[in-house]
Amino acid sequence: MLLDTKTLEIVALAAAGVAVLSLGLALALAVRIGRLRNAHDVLTGGDTGSSFVEAVTRQHREAEALRTDVGMLRDDLAAARADLSDALRHVAVVRYDAFGDMGGRLSFSAALLDDAGDGLVLTSINGRSETRTYAKGVKGGESDHSLSPEELQAIGYASRTAVQPPEVEETAPARRGRFTRR
C-alpha cells in the first residue's frame, strides 16, 4: 500500500504541474487574444460589429470622398488664382513737383496694374490755383495716350521692371503728439 500512496502523490504532483502549466498557457493565450482584438479594432476602425472587409470598404469610400473634396479645393484654388491675376494689386506712386516754383511734391502719378500689366494710371498735377487729375488706361504696360516720364516711371515701378527708391522724408520739423510714431 505504501507504493500506491507514493504513486498517488507523484500523480497528484504531476497533475498540479500540468494544471499550473495550463493556467500559464491560458493567461498567455488571453494576452495574445487581447492583442489580436486590439489589432482587429485598429483595422476595423473600432467598429466591433463589422468585418474587416466592411471596414476596408468604408475606409475606401471615405478616401474617395476626400479625393473628391481635394479635387474641388484644387479647382477653387485655380479659380481664385485666376481672379487674383485680374486684380489691380500692383501699385506704385511717384510724387514730384510739377512746377518749379512749388514745393512739397504734391503732384503724383499712381499706377494700378494687374498681373498682365493692364490697369490705369492716375495723375494729379497740383498748381497754385487748381489741381487737375487725369486717368489713362494701360494695356500690357503701355497706353494709347501719351504718358509723362512720371507716369512711365510709376508703371515701371508697379510692374517691377524698375526699382522704386525708398520714399524720401520731408524736411519738416518732427512733431510729437498723439498720432506720431515714437
Q: Give exposure, 65-94, as e/b (b: 16+ Cβ within 10 Å).
A: eeeeeeeeeeeeeeeeeeeeeeeeebebbb
Q: At what angle do helices 52-85 and 2-44 cross, to 10 degrees?
A: 30
Q: Identify the pLDDT of residue 3.
A: 60
Residues of the chain with pLDDT under 50: 170-182
61 φ, ψ to 5°?
-60, -45
Strand pairing of 90-96 and 119-126? Answer: unpaired
Model-wide pTM > 0.75: no
- 6 and 79 co-located in one domain: yes
Answer yes or no: do 78 and 95 share one domain. no
Supply the range of the domain harboring residue 127: 90-158
Of 46, 66, 83, which residue constitutes the final position of a domain? 83
Q: What per-residue confidence (pLDDT) applies to 171?
A: 47
Do both 15 and 76 map to the same domain?
Answer: yes
Same domain, 63 and 104: no
CA distance 107 to 98: 6
With respect to residue 95, please indicate whether it lies within any of the assigned structural domains. Answer: yes
Which of 31, 64, 83 is the last residue before a domain boundary?
A: 83
Total count of domains within the chain: 2
Q: Do 10 and 74 belong to one domain?
A: yes
Give 117's DSSP letter: S
Same domain, 72 and 11: yes
On whether residue 168 sits in a domain, the answer given is no
